[in-house]
Structure 1
């Protein structure tokens, strides 16, 4: 993703990029915890959790249960360019 929406932070972009790259053996977005995202992006765990909830509010990330997230279909579309940032 090369363009971000005005409400997004630099951390949001990093989180989305990490979640987009994190795939299970079938190629589907894998489930990640904020601590794992934090370890791999350099952002504080608490901040990652806040941003994941915010991204979930916008439909880019799915919160499967407390503390477990994965990239949503809409998030995948944003990352592959089939969803324009202005459409969010």
Structure 2
């Protein structure tokens, strides 16, 4: 059974599964295919990327990361992930 983190939302698994199957996609396409609002999909993609489960590509596209694949394959407990700290780059 997948170990979701407390910060994760119910749509996150569907987002990760869709990106695994579709490859690089923008949030609007994800939203249309899993039946959520595109703004919400964009917010969730940003957070999933912050925790390393998705990788943000050029043009606002996202793809599944290696960590995301491990999570979907039930090899990773998402509670073990830490968000990237944008202030570290300042």
Q: TM-score range by the shorter chain?
A: 0.7 to 0.9
Structure of higher RCO (CA pairs closer than 8 Å, 6+ residues apart): 2
Deviating beyond 4 angstroms after TM superposition, the runs of 4 or more aligned structure 1 residues are none
Distance (whole Å) between structure 2 residues aligned to residue 48 and residue 32 of structure 1? 11
Show the 5 A alignment for 1:4-83: 4-22=4-22, 30-83=23-76
Larger Rg belongs to: 2
- The structure richer in helix per residue is 2
SS of residue matched to 1:70:
strand
Cα distance, 1:87 vs structure 2: 2.3
SS of residue matched to 1:82:
coil
Cα distance, 1:4 vs structure 2: 1.5
Q: What do you get for the CA RMSD once the two structures are aligned? A: 1.5
Normalised by the size of structure 1, how large is the TM-score?
A: 0.82
Cα distance, 1:20 vs structure 2: 2.0
